[in-house]
Amino acid sequence: MILVTGGAGFIGANFVLDWLAQSDEPVLNLDKLTYAGNPENLASLQGDSRYLFVQGDIGDAPLVERLLAQHQPRAVINFAAESHVDRSIHGPEDFIQTNVVGTMRLLQSVRAYWQALTDAQRIEFRFLHVSTDEVYGSLSPTDPAFTEGNKLEPNSPYSASKAASDHLVRAWLHTYGLPVLTTNCSNNYGPLHFPEKLIPLIIVNALAGKPLPVYGDGLQVRDWLYVKDHCSAIRRVLAAGRVGEIYNVGGWNEKPNIEIVKTICTLLDELRPKSDGSSYQTQITYVQDRPGHDRRYAIDASKIERELGWKPAETFATGIRKTVQWYLDNQDWVTHVQSGAYRDWVQTNYAGRG
């Protein structure tokens, strides 16, 4: 069995679904079910004997220790995190509590469990920490892409909290010997993405006839990684990654935000044309940039390709088409996640930015 934390969120849920589509090894999913944790993401697994869900916090040491002792996982994959930059600007304490304190407590619980294993089990055990490229800071247009050797220079409360968690994982390796692995991924997109992030927000707002908010000049550059590719990379790192190593996971798809928005509009013009014949691009609205907005991220994913033979299967063109089509085909899911709390958040974040 493997233990997945945060497995009801966007990336975690895709990972659980993909894992069980390819393996009969059971998954124990521990998720606190905060705003972005959605059990509906995993509704297709209801009644599947290979899947067990427990609602709980990674910082709840007695709960985590009980689950570890009871289920004896051979690996822990840690997706659990607060992960939205804008939310971290409005409320940084939640990010420190989950991403720093929660990760530390999880490491402590896992360390105690690992130390009690047999010698053979300890050798095979892995703790895989899923992190982000945002810990590296920002790049200029001419800087080389981030490698695993870049120093951490986080610029938002979110990225600072993730950088802290990366440091803790490294410390538990070097101080206690816990066999850890870390992945730092670029911007994910794809099915089940909570509609506050750029790509799903643009799709949902476009279909609702609402403004499509673009920060500043829209020329912030990100590397985009289809979520299913990210999941396959994590599986590969878990299977063959060298203990203590960091692996950057990227899509080799650097794009400015405004190009992303226009690409989505073009796809929607084709797949769900407006009744008046106009383009969804007429809904694009430039809004005031957010504080400390990093200008460019780019991932050099050559290490994971060189050492582990992994590279993304999707181009941006294929991945974004699949993503737009998924949202068109799953409007009920979108309706269900757009709770009052979600609408309140969108109003808080974008009020006064016009």
Q: What is the pLDDT of residues 22-33, one digit of tens each?
A: 999 999 999 998
346 or 219: which carries more pLDDT confidence? Answer: 219
CA distance 163 to 135: 5
Active site residue 327: no
What residue type is assigned to position 351 of the chain?
A: A
User: Which of 31, 134, 229, 254 is an active site residue?
Assistant: 134
pLDDT of residue 353 exceeding 90, the answer is: no
Q: Is residue 102 part of a domain?
A: yes
CA distance 254 to 316: 9
Give the tens place of pLDDT for each residue, 108-157. 999 999 999 999 999 999 999 999 999 999 999 999 999 999 999 999 99
Q: Is residue 266 part of a domain?
A: no
Residue range 323-349: mean pLDDT, rounded: 77
CA distance 117 to 128: 18
pLDDT of residue 84 exceeding 70, the answer is: no
Residue range 170-181: mean pLDDT, rounded: 98
CA distance 36 to 12: 11
Residue range 280-298: mean pLDDT, rounded: 89
Residue range 12-20: mean pLDDT, rounded: 98
Give the residues across from 2 on adjacent strands: 27, 75
Active site residue 259: no
pLDDT for res 293: 78
**Residue 282 exposure: Cα atoms within 13 Å on the Cβ side:** 9
pLDDT of residue 299 exceeding 80, the answer is: yes
Lowest mean pLDDT among 18-22, 83-87, 244-248: 83-87
Show Cβ contacts of residue 165 under 8 Å, excluding neighbours closer than 6 positions: 81, 99, 100, 103, 129, 131
pLDDT of residue 19 exceeding 80, the answer is: yes
Residue 338 is encoded by which pair of tokens?
A: 């757009």
Asked if residue 31 lies in contact with residue 57, where contact means CB atoms within 8 angstroms, the answer is no
Q: Is residue 143 part of a domain?
A: yes
pTM (two decimals): 0.93
For residue 123, the enclosing domain spans: 2-190+225-250+297-313
Q: How many residues does the chain have?
A: 354
pLDDT for res 352: 59
pLDDT for res 154: 94
Tell me the CATH number at 98.
3.40.50.720
User: Which of 57, 82, 133, 223 is an active site residue?
Assistant: 133
Through-space distance between the first and last CA atoms of the chain, rounded to whole angstroms:
49
Show Cβ contacts of residue 225 under 8 Å, excluding neighbours closer than 6 positions: 185, 186, 187, 188, 189, 249, 250, 251, 253, 299, 312
Q: Domain total for the chain? A: 1
pLDDT of residue 230 exceeding 60, the answer is: yes
Asked if residue 13 lies in contact with residue 51, where contact means CB atoms within 8 angstroms, the answer is no
Q: Is residue 64 part of a domain?
A: yes
Q: Is residue 51 part of a domain?
A: yes
Q: Is residue 182 part of a domain?
A: yes
Q: Is residue 146 part of a domain?
A: yes
CA distance 223 to 118: 42
Active site residue 133: yes
Q: Is residue 124 part of a domain?
A: yes
DSSP conformational letter for 9: S
pLDDT for res 350: 47
pLDDT for res 224: 96
